[in-house]
């Protein structure tokens, strides 16, 4: 097996790897976005005995976090506010930051937290319902990490214990690596073919009188202006003999009148 065939087999293998990795990236991103869309922002998951930080907007005439009341289904499910209210980075609205804690004796299940802001006498009834929804949290408490994963809305996370975003990033890097090597190997294949007087048509542009095709043979490979070359389709069938119009250092072009010509067709020097 010559070098060109070995390189083409490598390129084909890497192409399949790149295609599979890209497909997995697409599926992973779709899985992650679908899971995020299905889960409301105020629906939180936590494991018994653990805690994590959450933030929210301040509503009403709140001077400090002491003005915000909290109603919980269980005394073991608490929200401990930081003492300072801060300004949001994007919209500049006042926000609070707190630690959501699930006590070690809290049994797994679905619980509710509701924030009670100072009275808002001027708020409309319809807006009151919207505000109540924003201030109400559903907290899903799980006994361990495995139970939390089993309830995940992401199929990838549920069955592989890995975040779909990690899957997407990992396989994107694999696809990128394969793509870079395909580019490098393609260059080697083109150089090997050029040594033997062959080249693949890589661009076709419409021009008055026909189509101008570009291929990777030039003066560097011994090609001369007006030289006769053979034109072949993607299957290797001979189409016609043509003469080089424009010659460059490593690339040349010729105008042909074949309507179905496209990138992937081949040219070959007749004297080689």
Please give the mean pLDDT across all residues of the chain: 87
| Diameter over CA atoms, the chain | 93
Q: Is 31 exposed, middle or buried (0-12, 13-18, 19+ CB in 10 A)?
A: buried
Integer angstrom CA distances of residue 71 from 98, 137, 162: 15, 10, 34
- pTM tops 0.75: no
pLDDT at 206: 87
- For residue 82, give the H/E element and its range: none
Q: Is the dihedral of CA 191, 193, 195, 201 positive or negative?
A: negative
pLDDT at 222 > cutoff 90: no
pLDDT tens for residues 50-92?
999 999 888 877 788 888 889 999 999 999 998 888 887 766 6
pLDDT band at 120 (very low <50, low <70, confident <90, very high): low
In terms of Cα–Cα distance, which of 3, 6, 114, 119 is closest to 60? 119
Phi, psi of 58 (to 5 degrees): -90, 130
pLDDT at 90: 67
pLDDT average, residue stretch 35-51 = 91
Phi, psi of 137 (to 5 degrees): -125, 135
């Amino acid at each position: 097996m010559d070098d060109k065939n070995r390189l083409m087999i490598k390129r084909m293998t890497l192409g399949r790897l790149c295609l599979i990795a890209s497909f997995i990236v697409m599926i992973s991103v779709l899985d992650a976005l679908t899971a995020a869309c299905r889960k409301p922002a105020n629906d939180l998951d936590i494991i018994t005995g653990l805690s994590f930080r959450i933030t929210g907007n301040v509503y009403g005439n709140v001077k400090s976090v002491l003005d915000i009341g909290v109603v919980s289904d269980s005394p073991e499910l608490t929200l401990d506010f930081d003492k300072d209210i801060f300004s949001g980075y994007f919209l500049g609205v006042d926000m609070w930051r707190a630690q959501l804690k699930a006590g070690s004796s809290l049994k797994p299940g679905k619980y509710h937290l509701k924030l009670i802001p100072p009275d808002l006498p001027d708020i409309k009834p319809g807006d009151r319902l919207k505000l109540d929804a924003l201030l109400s949290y559903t907290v899903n408490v799980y006994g361990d990490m495995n139970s939390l994963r089993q309830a995940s809305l992401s199929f990838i996370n549920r069955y592989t214990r890995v975040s779909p975003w990690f899957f997407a990033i990992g396989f994107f890097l694999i696809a990128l690596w394969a793509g870079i090597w395909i580019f490098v190997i393609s260059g080697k294949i083109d150089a090997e073919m050029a040594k033997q007087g062959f080249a693949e048509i890589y661009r076709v542009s419409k021009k008055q009188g026909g189509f101008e095709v570009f291929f990777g043979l030039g003066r560097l490979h011994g090609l001369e202006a007006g030289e006769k070359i053979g034109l072949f389709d993607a299957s290797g069938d001979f189409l016609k003999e043509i003469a080089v119009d424009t010659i460059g250092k490593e690339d040349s072009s010729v105008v042909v009148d074949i309507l179905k010509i496209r990138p992937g067709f081949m040219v070959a020097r007749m004297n080689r």
